Amino acid sequence: MVIISAALSINSYSQKLDMPLNFSLTFNKVKSDNFSIASKKSDKYTLINSIKFKSAAKPSKSASVLPISIGVLTAIYIINPLVEYVGRKVYAGLTKEISIGFGKFGEHRTAFEYSIVFGGKIKNYLRLSYKYDILLKTGIKPSHMLQGTSVLSVGAGYFTDFKGNGIFPELTYGYSIRNHKLLFYPHIKIRHTFMFTKDKPEITDLSFGVILGIANPFIDVNIRRKY
């Protein structure tokens, strides 16, 4: 009887010792599982952030093309290429025209143009001219807003190379963005210069680029529409 009681007592004490041990093992297992889940989440967020960073760091094609486009347009505006045919020879050069317009569209323009031509000796030209812009868009009306239209310009002017002089007619075609105060005019222009000075050959030239002009300086043009 004493032996049975002692055995029961030992068994009960052993079960009491196993309870904390089992609890400890269970707690450690749960803790380990939680750590594994947290680690997987952390890896997931790290991967997402890495993808976002690479996406943000990768430059877009439009962002890289825009500065190049601006640079090309700026170069064309500052320097207009010119091809000249004179004395059965062809020369290359650069030219720049600045104009001041009058009228409700700035369509009556006076212009100043300076050209430099390369080939053998460098030649410098100066031209003063009058031009009239024929706006080809139908229904266009004077406005404070900038408007775009195809344009055919006819003109004539005075020429000098500082050693001789002459006169020239010219014809220009392009697309202008304008109102009664500003002009932005990408174009192509052809003209022929008749020389007054003896022993000076006539000049035919072709140029293209951008004309930038102002219109009606110091003049308040009434372009209000009547309804």
* DSSP-based three-state secondary structure for 217: coil
What is residue 140's predicted lDDT score, i.e. its pLDDT?
Answer: 85
Strand partners, 206: 83, 190
- Reported as type and span, the H/E element at residue 34 is helix 2-57
Q: Which of 126, 114, 120, 71 is nearest to 92 (CA)?
A: 120
CATH 2.40.160 describes domain 70-215: yes
Over its C-alpha atoms, the chain yields an Rg (Å, rounded) of 41
CB-based contact 224:109 (threshold 8 Å):
no
Check: CB of residue 174 under 8 Å from CB of residue 148. no
Positive or negative torsion for Cα 41, 46, 47, 51: positive
Task: Count Cα atoms within 13 angstroms, Cβ side, for 55.
Answer: 6
Query: What pLDDT shows up at residue 3?
Result: 42
Task: Name which of 171, 182, 167, 30 is nearest 100 in CA terms.
Answer: 182
- Considering all CA atoms of the chain, what is the largest pairwise distance in Å, rounded to the nearest integer? 150
pLDDT of residue 75: 63
Q: What is the DSSP letter of 76?
A: H
pLDDT at 13: 43
Residue 157 CA, chain-centre distance (Å), reads: 34
pTM: 0.66
- Ranges of each domain in the chain: 1-58, 70-215
Tokens 């323009």 locate to 109
Query: What stretch of H or E contains 58?
Result: none
Close Cβ partners of 67 (under 8 Å, ≥ 6 residues apart): none
Classified as helix, coil or strand, 60 is coil
3-class DSSP state of 11: helix
Cα dihedral sign, 67-69-70-72: positive
pLDDT tens-place values along the chain, 227 residues long: 444 444 444 444 444 444 444 444 444 444 455 445 445 445 544 544 554 444 444 445 555 666 776 666 666 666 899 999 998 999 999 999 999 999 989 999 999 999 999 977 899 999 999 999 999 998 888 888 899 999 999 999 999 999 999 999 999 999 999 988 899 999 999 999 999 998 899 999 999 999 989 998 877 777 665 54
> Which structure tokens are listed for 201?
């050959």
